[in-house]
Amino acid sequence: MNLRIPGPTPCPEEVLAAGARQMMNHRGPEFAQILRRVTDGLNWVFGSSTDVLSFTTSGTGGLEAAIVNTLSPGDRVLSVSIGSFGDRFKSIAKAYGADVVSYATEWGEAADPAVIARMLDDDPSIKAVLVTHNETSTGVTNPLEAIAREVRARDRLILVDAVSSMSSIPCPVERWGLDVVVSGSQKGWMVPPGLAFVYMSERAWAANAEAKMPRFYFDAAKTRDSLAKLQNPWTPAMSVYYALDKAFELMRAEGLEGIFTRHEAVANYTRERVKAMGLKLVPVDERYASNTVTAVWWPEGVDGKAISRRAREEFGVVLGGGQGKLEGKIFRVGHLGWVHQADVAEALDVVEKLLAEARARV
Amino acid sequence: MNLRIPGPTPCPEEVLAAGARQMMNHRGPEFAQILRRVTDGLNWVFGSSTDVLSFTTSGTGGLEAAIVNTLSPGDRVLSVSIGSFGDRFKSIAKAYGADVVSYATEWGEAADPAVIARMLDDDPSIKAVLVTHNETSTGVTNPLEAIAREVRARDRLILVDAVSSMSSIPCPVERWGLDVVVSGSQKGWMVPPGLAFVYMSERAWAANAEAKMPRFYFDAAKTRDSLAKLQNPWTPAMSVYYALDKAFELMRAEGLEGIFTRHEAVANYTRERVKAMGLKLVPVDERYASNTVTAVWWPEGVDGKAISRRAREEFGVVLGGGQGKLEGKIFRVGHLGWVHQADVAEALDVVEKLLAEARARV
């Protein structure tokens, strides 16, 4: 099977094998060593000098942790949404009683840092900005460093969904001045789903001390205090930690720059190949096209869902579909984590063949 | 290693191997079949004619789901606590703004159904009762069927922490008239941590429609609606589902009655052996002693922590310690999930030997 959805991503065999290790005491000295090594690995990838927290949950749970640990009901926040996951981040804030102001682009577009700057200038009561680094639903990467610069200059908090970017494309949290940054294990980390990672800056911890949104399971302070004893407050997804411990060995051998370069090269190949097939990318400005997932419009009159089904059933190639209003209109090729050009080449060979057949029938 | 803590519990090798399966599309037809089989297995063990929900989280996250999906801030609830996990259930309710009335026993005692009945009669505004089926911190099992009868007769909701009982000792949710019942994958289910299971009765769903506590990740209605399409709303801990699918094969081969009988026999052996060593059980009334975990007082003047450390370092036997106010005063032997008498015998042989040495030195 050639799994080309943007997560869960395929895992190296040795990582899967490491995840099959027998259970141990999650509060014992052996697991403490694993948690230390894994946290060191997270700090390295995030570019953090303080310990990144991990929670047993999905990326969405990590986004909820970001919000409930830094905000209070009634707090005014600016939601920057460029797609389905940006909308989800906003929905979480609303569910917990935040007073949300919206900046939404057309899907396929990136957010404009100047617009965010203006909205913050116009409304000094905005306390925090919610922004997606890499929008998985449209294959667009926001200019996060530039956005963060505007937010930082105005002294607001910036909460970042880096679920599908962190570990695949650069996102140095301290260098860019980010406040809360979330990722998920099933994306670029080459391990199964089950863990979300949450970085919090000093500013975020100061906000945490005042934050009134209710929380228990996702309580960051409890998680930080347990981590100081090299434990989790609750029983963690041990197998994913085992797997991640092994994945970091592979990542350190390749190096962060090597990983970023590989993702960039595979993404460039994907985009060039798609365009050579006469297809149109969803990102309207290719400068913002994602290096972890490529979203492509199905041509007019072609039954994309039927092609996806045939790709899976006849060729074992699993493509991502469109979400929300893009359902049936686009396909997405995930190229993050344990991915090489040959994986994408095989998938696009199949798409090309099936598209030609579909067009011949028209 | 002989892991004798009350969770995470050791997993059969074939279950660990099943968990090492490669990732697939969590929204595709193959995973849908797994989710269907696993949910059928949950329904079978819970004794539910409607689909039990699963969440990627720990048991504590499952308890949070139980509360936020059925209650509103200000709702009056009766917390029945007989130990550390009962206290945690109560803390979650408080964190989300419930108005909590407390019934707490001395640790080691079970709850008295008559006391609960009287408290409900005295305060008709109590909407729900929070109760632990099996209190892991003290090795006491509450008379849940009798408690549920009193709650049912007074038409309140009963929310049950069955994290360390379900699948090991009988807890038929519909027959006993329970409303919300929570378990966790790392206990009697013979799989790694990462999933919590939540049953909701028709009454619980009616309460859900009115419940105002904020929720997003743990939203039961979203989870139910996704499950109807054989999906999870967020990316689930796939490996634990793979493992659980295999574990249900083993459980169905043994049969529920067989599993319950095995747990009862191992628990009886554990208690008789401990008493024969001259040690005292934490449960004050042995009728309520747990069939999944046995809690035992260290004798006066003995350094229990040192014995536990030697058991682990020299013999590979990992015992549970005391939690909260029982730290250093008791040890606990987990005997749930994939457990047989020989496992406990080996652990207690080591405790007996080390105790004799410690006493000889006194």
Task: Tell me the binding residues of B.
Answer: 332
Element (H, E) at A150: helix A144-153
Whether B91 and B225 share a structural domain: yes
Question: Closest-CA residue in chain A for B8?
Answer: A23
Print the SS3 string covering B64-87.
Answer: HHHHHCCCCCCCEEEEEECCHHHH
Relative to beta strand A76-81, strand A126-132 is parallel
CATH of the domain at B33: 3.40.640.10
Whether A160 and A298 share a structural domain: no
Rounded Cα gap, residues A86 and A136, in angstroms: 9
pLDDT the model gives residue A360: 86
For residue B333, how many other CB atoms are within 10 A of its CB? 27
Phi, psi of B39 (to 5 degrees): -65, -40
Does the CB of B12 have a partner CB in chain A at under 8 Å? no
Q: Is the ipTM of this complex over 0.95?
A: yes
In a domain, A4, yes or no: no
Contact between residue A149 and residue A177 where contact means Cβ atoms under 8 Å apart: yes
pLDDT at A362 over 90: no
Contact between residue B80 and residue B132 where contact means Cβ atoms under 8 Å apart: yes
* B20 to A23: CB separation less than 8 angstroms, yes or no: no
Whether B268 and B220 share a structural domain: no
| Amino acid at the residue B73 | P
* B237 to A238: CB separation less than 8 angstroms, yes or no: no
For residue A49, how many other CB atoms are within 10 A of its CB? 8
What is the rounded average pLDDT for all residues in chain A? 97
Give the SS3 label for residue A39: helix
Question: Closest-CA residue in chain B for A15?
Answer: B20
Whether B165 and B299 share a structural domain: no
In a domain, A90, yes or no: yes
Question: Which of these, B24, B186, B191, lies nearest to A192 by C-alpha position?
Answer: B24
> For chain A, what's the residue count?
362
Rounded Cα gap, residues B56 and B196, in angstroms: 6
Going by C-beta distance under 8 Å and a sequence separation of 6 or more, which residues neighbour residue A151? Answer: A116, A120, A129, A157, A158, A177
| Amino acid at the residue A117 | A
Whether A243 and A134 share a structural domain: yes
Q: Residue B285, class by beta-carbon neighbours within 10 Å (0-12 exposed, 13-18 middle, 19+ buried)? A: exposed
Q: Which residues of A touch B95 (CB under 8 A)?
A: 214-216
* B61 to A57: CB separation less than 8 angstroms, yes or no: yes
Does the CB of B114 have a partner CB in chain A at under 8 Å? no
Contact between residue B355 and residue B299 where contact means Cβ atoms under 8 Å apart: yes
Helix axes B29-46, B238-254, angle to 10 degrees: 50
Q: Which residues of B touch A218 (CB under 8 A)?
A: 217
Distance from CA of B93 to the nearest CA of A (A): 9
Rounded Cα gap, residues A88 and A79, in angstroms: 10
pLDDT the model gives residue B360: 86
Give the SS3 label for residue A76: strand
User: How many independent structural domains does chain A possess?
Assistant: 2
Whether B187 and B83 share a structural domain: yes
What is the pLDDT tens value at each position of chain B, 362 positions in all?
999 999 999 999 999 999 999 999 999 999 999 999 999 999 999 999 999 999 999 999 999 999 999 999 999 999 999 999 999 999 999 999 999 999 999 999 999 999 999 999 999 999 999 999 999 999 999 999 999 999 999 999 999 999 999 999 999 999 999 999 999 999 999 999 999 999 999 999 999 999 999 999 999 999 999 999 999 999 999 999 999 999 999 999 999 999 999 999 999 999 999 999 999 999 999 999 999 999 999 999 999 999 999 999 999 999 999 998 999 999 999 999 999 999 999 999 999 999 999 988 76
In a domain, A2, yes or no: no
Rounded Cα gap, residues B289 and A152, in angstroms: 58
* A235 to B24: CB separation less than 8 angstroms, yes or no: no
Interface test with A, best of B58, B71, B91, B309 (most A CBs within 10 A): B58
**Mean pLDDT within A218-236:** 98
Rounded Cα gap, residues A186 and B274, in angstroms: 45
In a domain, A111, yes or no: yes
Give the SS3 label for residue A56: strand
pLDDT in tens, A31-49: 999 999 999 999 999 999 9
Going by C-beta distance under 8 Å and a sequence separation of 6 or more, which residues neighbour residue B244? Answer: B38, B41, B185, B189, B191, B195
Whether A267 and A235 share a structural domain: no
In a domain, A188, yes or no: yes
Question: Closest-CA residue in chain B for A233?
Answer: B60
Element (H, E) at A180: strand A180-184
For residue A298, how many other CB atoms are within 10 A of its CB? 21
Question: Among the three residues A252, A281, A311, which one is the final residue of a domain in this structure?
Answer: A252
Whether B280 and B213 share a structural domain: no
Whether A139 and A222 share a structural domain: yes
Could you tell me the two tokens for B182?
A: 């929570």
Whether A174 and A158 share a structural domain: yes
In a domain, A5, yes or no: no
Contact between residue B217 and residue B209 where contact means Cβ atoms under 8 Å apart: no
Interface test with B, best of A235, A240, A319, A333 (most B CBs within 10 A): A235
In a domain, A6, yes or no: no
CATH of the domain at A272: 3.90.1150.10
* B26 to A8: CB separation less than 8 angstroms, yes or no: yes
Rg (CA), chain A: 20
| Structural domain that includes position A46 | 13-252
Q: Which residues of A touch B28 (CB under 8 A)?
A: 312, 318
Does the CB of A21 have a partner CB in chain B at under 8 Å? yes
Phi, psi of B278 (to 5 degrees): 80, 15
Question: Among the three residues A211, A233, A252, which one is the final residue of a domain in this structure?
Answer: A252
Give the SS3 label for residue A273: helix
Print the SS3 string covering chain B.
Answer: CEEECCCCCCCCHHHHHHHCCCCCCCCCHHHHHHHHHHHHHHHHHHCCCCCCEEEECCHHHHHHHHHHCCCCCCCEEEEEECCHHHHHHHHHHHHCCCEEEEEECCECECCCHHHHHHHHHHCCCCCEEEEECEECCCCEECCHHHHHHHHHHCCCEEEEECCCCECCECCCCCCCCCCEEEEECCCCCCCCCCEEEEEECHHHHHHHHHCCCCCCCCCHHHHHHHHHCCCCCCCCCHHHHHHHHHHHHHHHHHCHHHHHHHHHHHHHHHHHHHHHCCCEECCCCHHHECCCEEEEECCCCCCHHHHHHHHHHHHCEEEECCCHHHCCCEEEEECCCCCCHHHHHHHHHHHHHHHHHHHHHC
> How far is the CA of B279 from the CAs of A262, B140, B306, in angstroms?
62, 17, 17
Q: Which residues of B touch A237 (CB under 8 A)?
A: 56, 192-194, 237, 240
Choose among A61, A215, A235: nearest Cβ to B95.
A215
Residue A152 marked in a binding site: no
Does the CB of B313 have a partner CB in chain A at under 8 Å? no
pLDDT in tens, A80-105: 999 999 999 999 999 999 999 999 99
Whether B229 and B106 share a structural domain: yes
Whether B244 and B262 share a structural domain: no
Question: Among the three residues B226, B252, B278, which one is the final residue of a domain in this structure?
Answer: B252
* A58 to B8: CB separation less than 8 angstroms, yes or no: no
